[in-house]
């Protein structure tokens, strides 16, 4: 298709241009008159808080959503995408945050899937293999084309996704939060790939909320706030602070202010703990640590190294298969009455779960109902047999005021709130019931910067009130800035402990990849 | 994720009132075309149907008598829906509920009515609940899918009842497989009797006291589901099992509780049919009410008010439909069943036919739309 366009015109017009994009979902005005110019051969960042309309805009660019008004031009030509296939035909390829791969298939089979062009599959496979090897060499995208996807690491799987898009002829690649699942080293490799793509004249659109990455790798940044473009700046001329301010619309504190911890007595004492996942695979392979009053213990690690199972086991949701668990000195490992979600909560263990949509809330419930999840049997909310909705609503409104949840409407369905506000509802609930130890999983995943700042402050305040906090996060920045002690988890074991002074991106990053600190 | 909201986003009054009305209108329109193709006058048929269902107190009585069954089974299906379960077994649970009512009325029918009534309610509930308990237990503890087991239990219920009525409970010395008639103290009073007693004239119809019990059940359902911690657990489980477990809800126990309530509600059909109208236990007295209950719960949005309205609609179709087929020979009984089928199809399968368009239509238009 490039051959048909005279070179001079093609190079003068931008690779991708959006003009006056407007999109509503029911009452939500997701995109307001958005215009965007992405120059050929650049890496263009799109940043914005959660719920700012980034995902919608991206969905429109790759044909998943259709705009209510406005137009998209690719190489200066107006295009109307009815589906992602249309967008791909115009040269726009999408790399999703959650990979769309068939695990039992090999890399080459995955790449060919949906692009088979011969009656017998063998012909396509042979052609694809040759093409993939060339692409791999050109762009640092080395992957064993005959490996089964199930055996690949997350970083390798992402490369397969990129190869898939390139194999289909994508000239413009859109990546949605690509580093969320990567170690810092894997993220660096990804950025090398993106730079190589750029050098070959491909165009990359990077959607992210990580300001550091934007500054590292992009040429231009578009900032989206409340569905509108609020700024388009050359990356070289901007700073982290000014981007954060543009995103949120006010000054934000990127560092967490806290005093040194004053650890007290041990509340939670875990020794040799083993946990299996639902499929019976051992995911936590003997971990030992303690959580004291007045400290934040951070567990760093790439997602999927047993942190989720550990949290769920501690919270009483998942049984332990070995080891001991002590609460204020008492062995509760085999106490069936206590080792349930309800029992652990009664002991004084709060839990902000990793995945708020899946576990922390009931999306279809009114906010006031989600705000008592886990505490719905408690006396203050119940009069004899009746769950007193007036008290529940009033309590929720009080929490909403205290945590600045917007809109402050307790009767609104939970799903109508943005990610950050949903998370505030959960944190308010768990902190509000005054736990002795709070388990916190990914407290700021999909949460906007303003809310991150707020939630971090609350966690530090809880610590200062003499409570213990166990923090699990894949965001290294978050672990580094909040924790008083840092544990690193890899493949079900704790590979090391660091003090905040010793820990930095590199030391923790290597340990997260399973390389012990001695080796470094 | 904004992507998943493509079909939703309708304000409550739209999805709870406008959409069901639109679905109903579409079903009637399709039916009208069919009636017209059969050479009959659709408008005349509609007039007959409405007059047959609501024309006089007798017609209303019949309509509400049918609706009584559908309220019970609609509530039964709805409570299971709230727990995320699809109970297709209301038919069998109602049938076995009849066994409970029948045994009680045969055995203790001589007692004063004031004693028989609560005992019969308990018997209907216990037998219906017991029949639902087995699939519930199998789902909760053994992972057998409740849709499959409740369907199978309909057949088992049918076989059990046929065996019992033909071989055990049949009144000696007769051919038809039904029990002897209960003593009159075990009969529920008819509406025309009760209303006549207080001086209101009401046409003779099978409508009886069980209708009042159905309305009481609606109120109790509303309180239980939305205003107790037990209803909270049921709804939490139905919407999001992971969140329910996180919140300390025991899924197995909650599944069993919701299903036994469902079975008990279904069992109450027997109060209407066996105690209220037939005054004896007989074969197939449920007449498909358990399956109509699924449509009623769907159309009624699993809310008691919606369920009452949908039950009256289906009651009207039953009653008005027989009137139509009597007056217009071209429209047989089967034709009425087909119309019901269209309504179920429109409310269930084509639920989203209008939703998306309606949502798009209601969306505020951009002030300055370009070319």
User: Could you tell me if B88 and B262 are in contact, meaning their C-beta atoms sit under 8 angstroms apart?
Assistant: no
Using the predicted structure, report yes or no on whether residue B367 has a pLDDT greater than 60.
Answer: no
Instruction: Nearest chain A residue to B359 by CA: give it.
Output: A26
Q: Which of residues 321-360 of B touch A (CB under 8 A)?
A: 359
3-state secondary structure at position A240:
helix
Query: What class, spelled out in words, does domain A7-91+171-248 have in CATH?
Result: alpha beta
Give chain A positions within 8 Å (CB) of B364: 24
Residue numbers in B near A361 (CB within 8 A): 240, 243
Q: pLDDT band at B268, cuts 50/70/90?
A: very high
Long-range residue pairs from A57-60, CB within 8 A, at least 24 positions apart, any chain: A57/A18, A57/A21, A57/A31, A57/A224, A58/A94, A58/A174, A58/A176, A58/A205, A58/A207, A59/B2, A59/B3, A60/A18, A60/A21, A60/A23, A60/A31
Chain B CB contacts of A430 below 8 Å? none
Q: Which residues contact residue A425 at a Cβ distance below 8 angstroms, ignoring those fewer than 6 apart? A: A361, A367, A370, A371, A396, A399, A400, A403, A405, A414, A417
A391 touches chain B (CB under 8 A): no
B128-153 mean pLDDT: 95
- Report the Cα B299 to chain-centroid distance in Å: 11
**Number of inter-chain CB pairs under 8 A, A vs B:** 97
Does residue B5 register a pLDDT over 70?
no
Distances (CA, A) of B268 to A431, B255, B362: 46, 20, 42
How many alpha carbons lie under 13 Å from residue A477 in its C-beta half-sphere?
15
pLDDT of residue B276: 94
Does position B361 have pLDDT exceeding 80, yes or no?
no
Residues B235, A359: C-beta atoms closer than 8 Å? no
Tell me the average pLDDT across B128-139.
96
Say which residue, B354 or A399, is predicted with more confidence: A399
Which ipTM was obtained for this model? 0.83
Mutate to test the interface with B, among A347, A350, A359, A372 (most CBs of B within 10 A): A359
Please tell me whether residue A277 adopts helix, strand or coil conformation.
coil
Residue owning tokens 């009815």? A82
Out of A26-35, A320-329, B151-160, B210-219, least confident range? A26-35
Q: Does domain A266-362+434-519 have CATH number 3.40.50.300?
A: yes
Closest by CA position to B294, among listed B347, B342, B222: B347
- Chain-chain contact of B369 with A360 (C-beta, under 8 angstroms): no
Residues of A with CB below 8 A from B301's CB? Answer: none
User: A441 vs chain B: nearest CA distance in angstroms?
Assistant: 13
- How many CB atoms within 10 Å of residue A98? 9
Element (H, E) at A54: helix A54-61
Residues of chain B positioned with their CB less than 8 A from the CB of A19 = none
Kindly report the three-state secondary structure assignment for every residue of chain B: CHHHHHCCCCCHHHHHHHHHHHHHHHHHHHHHHHHHHCCCCHHHHHHHHHHHHHCCHHHHHHHHHHHHHHHHHHHHHHHHHHCCCCCCCHHHHHHHHHHHHHHHHHHHCCCCHHHHHHHHHHHHHHHHHHHHHHHHHHHHHHCCCHHHHHHHHHHHHHHHHHHHHHHHCCCCCCCCCECCCCCHHHCCCEHHHHHHHCCCCCCCCCCECHHHHHHHHHHHHHHHHHHEHHHHHHHHHHHCHHHHHHCCCCHHHHHHHHHHHHHHHHHCHHHHHHHHHHCCCECCCCCCHHHHHHHHHHHCCCCHHHHHHHHHHHHHHHHHHHHHHHHCCCCCHHHHHHHHHHHHHHHHHCHHHHHHHHHHHHCCCCCCCCC
Confidence band, pLDDT 50/70/90 cuts, at residue B2: very low
Per-residue confidence of chain A (520 residues) as pLDDT tens digits? 444 444 444 456 899 999 999 998 777 788 999 999 999 999 999 998 777 788 888 889 999 889 999 999 999 889 889 888 899 889 999 988 777 888 899 998 888 887 777 777 787 888 888 888 888 888 888 888 889 988 888 888 888 989 888 888 899 999 988 887 787 888 888 999 999 999 989 999 998 878 888 999 999 999 998 889 999 999 999 988 888 888 888 777 667 888 898 999 999 999 999 999 888 889 999 999 999 999 999 999 888 889 999 999 999 999 999 999 999 999 999 998 899 999 999 999 999 999 888 899 999 999 999 999 999 999 999 998 999 999 999 999 999 999 999 888 999 999 888 888 899 999 999 999 999 999 999 998 878 777 888 999 999 999 999 999 999 998 888 899 999 999 999 989 999 999 988 888 888 888 887 766 444 3
Q: Are B61 and B193 in contact (CB under 8 A)?
A: no
Q: For the stretch A143-152, what's the b/e string if a residue is b when 16 or more beta carbons lie within 10 angstroms of its beta carbon?
A: bebeeebeeb
Q: Which domains does chain B have, with CATH numbers?
A: 18-29+40-352 (1.10.3470)
- Residues in B closer than 8 angstroms to A55, CB to CB, are 1-3
- Chosen for mutation from A78, A336, A387 (greatest number of chain B CBs closer than 10 Å) is A387
Query: Is any Cβ of chain A less than 8 angstroms from the Cβ of B361?
Result: no
Q: What three-state secondary structure class fits A293? A: coil
Per-residue pLDDT band for B364 (boundaries 50, 70, 90) equals: low
Residue A497: which residues within 8 A CB-CB, separation 6 or more? A289, A485, A486, A487, A488
* Residue A91 three-state SS: coil
Average pLDDT, chain B: 89
Domain boundaries of chain A, sorted by first residue: 7-91+171-248, 100-155, 266-362+434-519
**Poorest-confidence range of A320-324, B19-23, B190-194, B234-238?**
B19-23
Task: List the single residue in A with minimal CA-CA distance to B242.
Answer: A359
Record: contact A69-B242, CB cut-off 8 A:
no
Percent of chain B beyond pLDDT 90? 65
CATH topology of A7-91+171-248 equal to that of A266-362+434-519?
yes
Q: Is the peptide bond before B198 cis (omega within 30 degrees of 0)?
A: no
């Amino acid at each position: 298709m490039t051959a048909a366009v005279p070179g001079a015109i093609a190079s003068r017009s931008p690779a991708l241009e959006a003009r006056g994009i407007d999109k509503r979902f029911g009452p939500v005005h997701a995109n307001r008159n958005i215009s965007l110019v992405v120059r050929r051969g650049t890496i263009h960042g799109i940043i914005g808080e959660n719920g700012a309309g980034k995902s919608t805009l991206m969905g429109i660019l790759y044909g998943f959503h259709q705009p209510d008004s406005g137009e998209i031009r690719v190489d200066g030509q107006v295009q109307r995408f009815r589906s992602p296939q249309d967008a791909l035909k115009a040269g726009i390829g999408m790399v999703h945050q959650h990979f769309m791969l068939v695990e039992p298939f090999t890399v080459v089979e995955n790449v060919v899937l949906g692009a088979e062009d011969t009656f017998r599959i063998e012909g396509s496979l042979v052609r694809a293999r040759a093409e993939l090897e060339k692409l791999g060499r050109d762009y640092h995208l080395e992957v064993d084309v005959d490996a089964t996807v199930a055996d690949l690491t997350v970083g390798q799987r992402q490369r397969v996704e990129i190869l898939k898009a390139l194999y289909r002829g994508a000239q413009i690649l859109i990546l949605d939060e690509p580093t969320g699942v990567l170690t810092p080293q894997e993220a660096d490799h990804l950025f090398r790939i993106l730079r190589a793509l750029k050098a070959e004249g491909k165009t990359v659109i990077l959607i992210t909320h990580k300001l550091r990455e934007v500054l590292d790798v992009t040429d231009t940044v578009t900032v989206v706030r409340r569905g509108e473009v609020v700024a388009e700046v050359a990356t070289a001329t901007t700073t982290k602070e000014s981007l954060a301010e543009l995103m949120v619309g006010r000054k934000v504190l990127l560092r967490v202010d806290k005093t040194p911890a004053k650890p007290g007595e041990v509340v939670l004492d875990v020794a040799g703990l083993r946990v299996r996942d639902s499929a019976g695979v051992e995911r936590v392979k003997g971990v030992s640590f303690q959580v004291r009053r007045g400290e934040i213990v951070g567990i760093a690690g790439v997602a999927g190294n047993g942190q989720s199972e550990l949290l769920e086991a501690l919270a009483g949701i998942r049984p332990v298969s070995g080891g001991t668990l002590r609460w204020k000195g008492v062995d509760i490992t085999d106490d069936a009455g206590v080792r349930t979600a309800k029992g652990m909560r009664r002991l004084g263990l709060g839990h902000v779960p990793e995945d708020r949509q899946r576990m922390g809330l009931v999306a279809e419930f009114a906010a006031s109902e989600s705000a008592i999840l886990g505490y719905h049997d408690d006396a203050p909310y119940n009069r004899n047999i009746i769950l007193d909705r007036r008290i529940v609503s009033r309590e929720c409104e009080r929490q909403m005021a205290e945590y600045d949840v917007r809109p402050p409407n307790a009767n609104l369905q939970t799903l109508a709130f943005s990610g950050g506000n949903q998370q505030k509802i959960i944190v308010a609930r768990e902190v509000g019931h005054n736990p002795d130890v709070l388990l916190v999983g990914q407290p700021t995943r999909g949460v906007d910067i303003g809310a991150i700042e707020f939630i971090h402050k609350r966690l530090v305040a809880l610590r200062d009130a003499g409570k213990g906090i166990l923090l699990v996060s894949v965001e290294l920045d978050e672990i580094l800035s909040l924790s008083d002690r840092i544990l690193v988890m890899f493949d079900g074991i704790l590979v090391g402990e660091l003090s905040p002074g010793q820990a930095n991106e590199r030391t923790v990053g290597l340990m997260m990849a399973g390389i012990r600190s001695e080796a470094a | 994720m904004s992507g998943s909201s493509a079909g939703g986003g309708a304000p409550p009054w739209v999805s709870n009132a406008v959409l069901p009305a639109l679905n109903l209108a579409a079903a009637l329109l399709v039916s009208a075309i069919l009636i017209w193709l059969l050479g009959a006058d659709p408008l005349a048929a509609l007039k007959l149907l409405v007059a047959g269902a609501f024309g006089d107190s007798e017609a209303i009585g019949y309509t509400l008598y049918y609706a009584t069954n559908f309220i019970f089974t609609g509530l039964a299906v709805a409570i299971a829906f709230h727990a995320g379960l699809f109970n297709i077994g209301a038919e069998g649970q109602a049938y076995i509920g009849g066994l409970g009512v029948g045994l009680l009325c045969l055995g203790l029918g001589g007692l004063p009515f004031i004693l028989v009534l609560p005992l019969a309610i308990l018997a209907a509930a216990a037998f219906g609940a017991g029949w639902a308990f087995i699939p519930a237990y199998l789902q909760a503890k053994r992972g057998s899918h409740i849709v499959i087991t409740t369907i199978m239990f309909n057949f088992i219920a049918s076989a059990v009842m046929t065996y019992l009525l033909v071989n055990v409970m049949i009144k000696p010395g007769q051919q038809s497989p039904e029990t002897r008639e209960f003593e009159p103290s075990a009969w529920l009073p008819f509406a025309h009797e009760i209303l006549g007693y207080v001086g209101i004239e009401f046409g003779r119809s099978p409508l009886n006291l069980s209708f009042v019990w159905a309305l009481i059940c609606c109120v109790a359902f509303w309180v239980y589901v939305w205003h107790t911690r037990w209803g909270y657990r049921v709804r939490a489980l139905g919407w999001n099992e992971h969140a329910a477990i996180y919140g300390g809800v025991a899924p197995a126990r909650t599944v069993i509780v919701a299903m036994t309530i469902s079975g008990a509600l279904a069992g109450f059909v027997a109060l209407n049919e066996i105690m209220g109208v037939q005054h004896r236990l007989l074969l197939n007295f449920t007449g498909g009410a358990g399956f109509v209950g699924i449509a009623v719960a769907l159309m009624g949005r699993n809310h008691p008010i919606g369920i009452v309205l949908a039950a009256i609609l289906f009651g009207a179709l039953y009653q008005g439909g027989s009137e139509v087929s009597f007056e217009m020979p071209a429209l047989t009984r089967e034709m009425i069943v087909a119309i019901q089928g269209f309504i179920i199809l429109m409310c269930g399968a084509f639920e989203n036919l209008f939703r998306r368009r309606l949502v798009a239509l209601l969306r505020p238009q951009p002030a300055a739309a370009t070319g």
